[in-house]
Structure 1
């Protein structure tokens, strides 16, 4: 491999300055220069903002870096005259790299992803976004010293259990200074001390220093939290601020009203709901009693600000790959959403960056005191529903405490794409998001990594292989060579039940038995499918299910519907509709929904003394079976849309040809010109029914899409999709 001589810039103390030269690119050199954004000389206000990534902010789908999903925020600050820098830690051994080691499990190494006062003292504001690793007592002391010197910290959290790297910590816990669990393992001692839940709203690092704590709730209110306090009571920060969306977030609880006060609350007319993945009640009290969504604190010479969700100030331009699996990240386009917090975020930074001599919100000279949250620690917040475990299982081989296990092009990974990698098999590992048809696989070059969706139609070479047929053309097939540990489950001779199943095969395009084939298979999985109504009826009560069926009629006025089996209409089940679902899915309110095919997620239960589904978390229209088919003659072709400018509303019809970006999008192609393609970004409510990854039988189907012409994944596409209709 030819490697150019690299000159790496790394700041001593703040991870940015000090020059070192290396003749060869070694591990961790690929992205060693931390970004800096500088205003024009005429616009420079002389102040600096650091965005921290030393303790997280880039875990899982999070990408809170100034040249990634916080780039719009950073750019807005540059327009205000700020210099904006990414803070990574301290280069303690002066080798041009800042390395992270877990202080508890790798004690022989030196952890450089740390916060010290000397490293951050030259900034005016320090932004901590979704911090996913606890602070040492020394780091807490450094932040206290920073505040005492008259500086400001912006704490950006998220809902409880936003444990992005599955290390059992989320930002609400890290900022509060204690885990939600009281298990003995969280009395860590050493550099950390006791991080067990104190079960008191008055205890913990955050409340002791700033008079406020983050709640362990999980709330949704995308319509916009509208209880914006008047600017005369908020140091002017809420001037020009509109209601702000909450896309699964937390609130805070104020304990000391002279230290902290709220900026934005749920108003009496707001109707927030429990986030559907919340681990407990999710929403404890509602209204102002739930505590502020955004708040500020004045503690001595310094200042702090807080918000319970990153969504309204992030953008849709992540830079890094996921650390655990190398997949592309997805972030919420909050900065441009109607419920954005861009005005609030900039106002907060301006306030934090301005030193002021008053010490507290004591009501003097217009510095109004805050409103004490009536129950600052709910009973639910005193115990851990996860019992000290992460919310999910880490990917195989991934260790959140060991950066050597991070995938290429993820933050802190040893290597970027195209650099030396000690992996003996350097070919990129394909993911199900790149799933292609059998016909596409046949056209792929030899030794190309592929993920193929098809139907098992025969055993090949006895127990050693199988035939995979194209979902849309059974005569088109490819041979798959099975590894020894795969034959029992996937060879039709050993397991006849696998015949006619749709499966996803991950391997390399090659020949097998003198025919086009797939070899070196690393993974086989049965393609996801939905439960029928008949199967749902046989499911035990209390089970979470996903089922599909046809709307037969309404039930109990506007409150429910009857779903019938697609293959046998004698099987029916009652679906209880949530209040937010009735306008669209109640046949009494919307007769057009009759005969539509729906995909429903919920809990098997009884309703109206009959078998039913309750706690319905999502309903998606899979097909209207022609009952609602509008005039196709007015639809645009893919070619028509490709010729249009971004930002224009479109109604386009084409053929579904592939999954894009895992389950998050699909490829739509002109039937008469397969080279003309659009990427269709699916909204969260649409993926279960329309993602080809989840529904491989959709490949080859015709689809009508209503949305806005816009690029997706750097490819011409349609976003903000309001409606999808299958045409065959």
Structure 2
């Protein structure tokens, strides 16, 4: 469920392709910050920092954006949750009456006075939660990433923290000094390693973690770092990555060094750690992916693009662990160090030379790429419309869709693709749209026929021609394409871009020529049907859905059928159980599996589904599609609470909808 939110700042709701995103109107550090008020308050306050670049690049680490699942879960625990916004340095006064201070992946370095305020806050009884990432996660391209910022020093620039910076950047860095601050004050360093798609499954027992790890079996890491224990008396690991990690299997593809330092396990350092500082406490995690969700609020401050974030809070045991950590941070305890109590202490972590401040080197020239012309990370007047710090609301987002034949011919036979744009300005014209079909790995295999009927010489992105909106803001255009460049049967992608921005990417099937046998039947010959309960149960109850396809050639197998349930605006809330009985970690479209037609041309399969437990009663839609973008059946459904003690079989409804070409062209 979602919790009642008291959002002081003015916001508006806007929905986008591939998910739901709530975008703010023009909003910045001088506007009132959001506050989330619990129904059953426990009297404690959690403050999330949003004054150190927490919305830079693709990050959106705010309590009413892509950290909202985390914030909402804390509200359910009874915490009053609010956001810290300011253009002034963080001070002791900012942390007054706060129980836990959460620092999500900072991108702007802390000044020495701010570090003092944080350390003093913890020393005097507050809890601090540091959320970092992998090395080189420099989202605002200022040469400092979150690990360096948390640690207090920049890799390869310990003696010169403004190395390589312009005069304007150096001025913005006034008050920032190099020190081994995190190690000196909190007993840890965030490492520079970069470990991807792994699960931390070495979990310390609950009696050694103050109960934080109760019920925790795995915590996911997706391009993140581990933590070095520097002072075992005030820092302790509670979640570690498995032993036997290798560069080949576990290193993030874009890591600038070996990525895995000590082969995982205890020596690699904990992925999640806790600490004791004076009367207060601390906690650390080396990746923002387990914390974030898929509801970003702001536009990218550099170029204004829509952000895509990862649904990590609901993955594995991430959410429960994070909530347990904050509950522990908020609890007052009367010891000063872990050595003061009966708790097994960690061994200090082994340290590579390149992890030592004075010996570190810069593996590559920073920043990792040049920022877009005109964008200055320290000057909010240069930020794109709709980003945090911009004074201009975002433009209304255009929605794009492309419709292709069920199978694209591999023999060079021309075929047509329809492009539809909605939510444009009346009579708006787009002249820089391009499209291509490409294979896995990126090889371009398509051409677009030119206005004079001729074909280009090469393959790749080619112009779709002028796209002009009508008076209602809708534009439609059809282009003729053909494939070549040695293409054979198989799967590929078709992509539409406007300028350099990719706006639609969807899978396609490449098959025989029009006269040969197609691997998938033409969709206009099929009839589609979903059979499901009269009301879909909320609360995570499993329910059956039968998928039926009629009018197929006997023996034909359909492999690309997918189903999802989504709310108004596009937020996916359903999962399909895998054949091994497990469930996915996220919500959205999932494959039904193979459907093979019998002698009557009918294929059917019953799948087990469930909804996100936080989904509330109301209405939604259930949709069947064949491949990405090829929606063949969409129906309204009712979501209701079901008596969990009843063993009665859920009632079914049956609704048959014939496929027709008109419906196909209108599918979104």
TM-score range, shorter-chain basis?
0.5 to 0.7
Distance 1:720 1:78, change over 3 A: farther
Size of the aligned set, in residue pairs, is: 500
Please point out which of 167, 175, 196 is paired with 1:192: 175
CA contact (8 A) 1:158 1:310 kept: yes
Give the distance between the partners of 1:268 and 1:237, measured in 2 at CA.
22
Give the distance between the partners of 2:43 and 2:183, measured in 1 at CA.
32
In the alignment, what sits opposite 2:145?
170
In the alignment, what sits opposite 1:39?
38
- Where do 1:78-157 residues align within 5 Å? 78-89=75-86, 111-112=87-88, 114-157=89-132
SS at match of 2:118: helix
Q: Does 1:352 align with 2:351?
A: no
Distance 1:249 1:510, change over 3 A: closer
Q: Does 1:61 align with 2:58?
A: yes
After TM superposition, the score normalised by the length of structure 2 is: 0.62
Distance 1:510 1:357, change over 3 A: closer
In the alignment, what sits opposite 1:447?
427
Distance 1:500 1:314, change over 3 A: closer
In the alignment, what sits opposite 2:291?
313
Distance 1:473 1:630, change over 3 A: closer
Q: Does 1:503 align with 2:503?
A: no
Please point out which of 210, 216, 230 is paired with 2:186: 210
Please point out which of 229, 232, 241 is paired with 1:266: 241
1:291-329 Cα distance to aligned partner (Å, 9 max, x none) = 110001112222110001111122111111211222221
SS at match of 1:334: coil
392-401 vs 229-238, which deviates more?
Answer: 392-401
User: Residue 216 of structure 1: CA displacement?
Assistant: 0.6
CA contact (8 A) 2:301 2:383 kept: yes
Q: Does 1:384 align with 2:359?
A: no
Give the distance between the partners of 2:571 and 2:78, measured in 1 at CA.
39
CA contact (8 A) 2:398 2:421 kept: no
CA contact (8 A) 2:380 2:389 kept: yes
Query: Alignment RMSD, CA only?
Result: 5.3
In the alignment, what sits opposite 2:374?
397
- Where do 1:217-616 residues align within 5 Å? 217-222=193-198, 224-268=199-243, 273-286=250-263, 287-337=265-315, 339-362=316-339, 364-375=340-351, 378=354, 382-389=360-367, 391-417=368-394, 440=420, 447-450=427-430, 452-453=433-434, 502-504=461-463, 509=468, 566=487, 596=490
User: Residue 505 of structure 1: CA displacement?
Assistant: 6.3
Distance 1:384 1:302, change over 3 A: same
In the alignment, what sits opposite 2:70?
73
User: Residue 227 of structure 1: CA displacement?
Assistant: 0.4
Distance 1:644 1:181, change over 3 A: farther
Distance 1:58 1:377, change over 3 A: farther
Q: Higher helix share goes to which structure?
A: 1
User: Residue 238 of structure 1: CA displacement?
Assistant: 1.2
397-406 vs 645-654, which deviates more?
Answer: 645-654
User: Residue 349 of structure 1: CA displacement?
Assistant: 0.7
Q: Which runs of 5+ in 2 are unaligned?
A: 1-6, 10-24, 164-169, 404-416, 437-445, 494-505, 551-559, 564-569, 575-583, 585-606, 613-618, 633-668
Give the distance between the partners of 1:257 and 1:721, measured in 2 at CA.
55
User: Residue 54 of structure 1: CA displacement?
Assistant: 0.5
1:659-678 Cα distance to aligned partner (Å, 9 max, x none) = xxxxxxx9x99xxxxxxx99
Give the distance between the partners of 2:629 and 2:132, measured in 1 at CA.
34
User: Residue 397 of structure 1: CA displacement?
Assistant: 2.8
SS at match of 1:207: helix
CA contact (8 A) 1:35 1:85 kept: yes
Give the distance between the partners of 1:251 and 1:165, measured in 2 at CA.
22
User: Residue 368 of structure 1: CA displacement?
Assistant: 3.0
Give the distance between the partners of 2:360 and 2:548, measured in 1 at CA.
52
Give the distance between the partners of 1:510 and 1:333, measured in 2 at CA.
35
After TM superposition, the score normalised by the length of structure 1 is: 0.57
Give the distance between the partners of 1:285 and 1:315, measured in 2 at CA.
30
CA contact (8 A) 1:126 1:152 kept: yes
Higher RCO, Cα 8 Å, sep 6+: 2
Give the distance between the partners of 1:377 and 1:139, measured in 2 at CA.
28
CA contact (8 A) 1:172 1:214 kept: yes
Give the distance between the partners of 1:722 and 1:441, measured in 2 at CA.
20
SS at match of 1:132: coil
Give the distance between the partners of 1:215 and 1:82, measured in 2 at CA.
31
CA contact (8 A) 1:218 1:249 kept: yes
SS at match of 1:345: helix
